[in-house]
Structure 1
């Protein structure tokens, strides 16, 4: 597994949103959708605000492989790994980045936390 460069992590951290998609059986990308993301401890994380029922989440966890795009760039192959080890730090990062509105409370809900994924370059 490759690692994000410091420049990529900085861009991902500063981006308001990114686009993610799972891969199909033939290796092609499903439709990229907008999600919120945070970088914690040099690692990129995403969650499904709809929890396990989120369509993008179901597509991503089917193969645990997919694509990420940010700042209008090309989609980059990635690996998604379930990771609930850092939920408190991830909650704090979402609050710091997006404020304490209803959307942030939803992304930090117990349901959404069940979908915390680490995202690493493939």
Structure 2
């Protein structure tokens, strides 16, 4: 299994946004969408701000593959659904800590139950 290098994970985790481009149903890469990304331990996580309505999220969930760019890192990834309640609480805390400067409305949306249900772990390929 491929893992993030410490340089990659640090550069991605400290980037304000990540551009995600999942594969569509026909196998072509969708147009990149800027989203928030957080780190917990040595893993990276993303969520769909629009919940299940996020086009990029639906494509990522369906294909399980795509690419990301952040902090000068450009990698193909596998998307893995994450639904562990204890881990999601820690991911919530990471979102609150990293993005608090954007205001409570944005942060409370990204940690709300409907959005929390879209948590995806990013695994490098």
* TM-score normalised according to structure 1 size: 0.92
Alignment of 1:102-121 (within 5 A): 102-121=105-124
Shift of residue 73 of structure 1?
4.8
Whichever structure has more helix as a proportion of its residues is 2
Q: Tell me how far apart the structure 1 counterparts of residues 72 and 29 of structure 2 sit (CA, whole Å).
A: 16
Tell me, yes or no, if the aligned pair for 1:22 and 1:62 is still in contact at 8 Å: no
Give the unaligned 5+ runs of structure 1: none
Task: Give the structure 2 partner of residue 22 of structure 1.
Answer: 22
Q: Gapped runs of 5+ residues in structure 2?
A: none
Residue matched to 1:55: 55
Runs of at least 4 residues off by over 6 Å: none
Secondary structure of the equivalent of 2:79? strand
Partner of 2:109: helix, strand, or coil?
A: helix
Q: How many residues align?
A: 121
| 1:1-122 to 2 correspondences below 5 Å | 1-25=1-25, 27-71=27-71, 73-74=73-74, 76-85=75-84, 86-99=87-100, 101-122=104-125
Aligned to 1:4, the other structure's residue is in SS state coil
Aligned counterparts of 1:54 and 1:90: Cα–Cα separation in 2 = 19
